[in-house]
Amino acid sequence: MRVFLFSLLFLPSIAWGAVVERVAAVVNNEVIALSQIYEIGSEFISESMEADSSPASRRTAELKVLEELIAQELMVQEMGRLTIDVTATEVDQALDDIASRNSVDRDRLRAEVERSGLAWTAYRESITQELRGMKFNQVVLQPRVSLSEDEIENLYKIKVATTEGGRVLDGIFLAWTEEVTAQAPDAFVQRLASARAEMAAGKTWIELVAAFPESPYASLGGRMSAYQKGELVDTLESAAWSLELGQVSEPVVTDGGVFLLRYVEVAPSQLPSVDEIRPQLQMELMAGKLEIEKELWLVQARRRASVEIKLETP
């Protein structure tokens, strides 16, 4: 579980009721209160208890959130030791960025946050902690991480090997006409359904295409093109990617007319070259390495620290 930069679309629900204040843990003389667990983890705890609402299930969920808070506190203490922190100006800039991305100003953002039941101070603190995490990665962890060209090449090869190829499609297309749309909109669907049945009875695809000279693909033997996933409109995309190789679809109704599709062959994947997506590959590798480095740092920090958990285990 992580503390994320919230947006207006992802505000947590505050529904835990009154929490009896008590000490949940002490980290190098810094107290973590039980209320802090519910400030950031109420939704997680509620979801964890959906299948099992016992006190033991609640305590297990509380302890998971507490571990996140302990890690956060250790990070904050290390940043204090190194005299690095997030400034109020940086927090304000982050809030303004969130407001801008949601097309509101900061006053409206605050109103929406408070309308959700979350105190503005708690929301602002969550943004501060997220920025601290980013700065901690940049200043403390990133200098420990390096990327090699071999790692970039290997990640690219994995993406090439696992990227789904496109599909070469044939098609017959009957565009809506004013007369058909007004009088018999099902006529095109019926014609193509009959053609599909004729192919199942033994007619060849070329014979079918020849029977529809008005189709824009008729002069090409029905060949449409090669498509990668995501390139077709939703209705055609769903139909095309549900076909087995060589299979012909049911008539597919679109805003422009009706299609009959045939999946002809697999098209090679069109993954960009390694140089074109190098920044993306580097970011992906760096994110993974930073996560590993953070786990290693946390293990070492826990060994050096005095951490006393006050909540009883279930």
Number of domains in the chain: 2
Q: Does 230 share its domain with 292?
A: no
Burial of 36 (0-12, 13-18, 19+ CB in 10 A): buried
Q: Is the pLDDT of residue 20 over 70?
A: no
pTM of the model: 0.60
CA 259 to CA 233: how far, in whole Å? 12
Beta-strand relationship, 166-175 and 223-227? antiparallel
Question: What are the C-alpha distances in Å from 284 to residues 151, 227, 278, 305?
Answer: 11, 27, 10, 31
Q: Is the pLDDT of residue 5 over 50?
A: no
Say if residues 25 and 308 touch (Cβ distance below 8 Å): yes
Q: Does 214 share its domain with 142?
A: no
- Report yes or no on 37 lying in a domain: yes
* CA-based end-to-end distance of the chain: 20
- Report yes or no on 86 lying in a domain: yes
- Report yes or no on 298 lying in a domain: yes
Q: Per residue in 227-250, pLDDT tens?
A: 888 889 888 999 999 999 999 999
- Report yes or no on 96 lying in a domain: yes
- Report yes or no on 314 lying in a domain: no
Q: Does 34 share its domain with 120?
A: yes
**Residue 97: which CATH number?**
1.10.4030.10
| DSSP alpha helix (H) spans, 163-266 | 178-183, 187-200, 205-210, 234-240
Q: Per residue in 71-106, pLDDT tens?
A: 999 999 999 999 999 999 999 999 999 999 989 999
Q: Does 263 share its domain with 282?
A: no
- Report yes or no on 159 lying in a domain: no
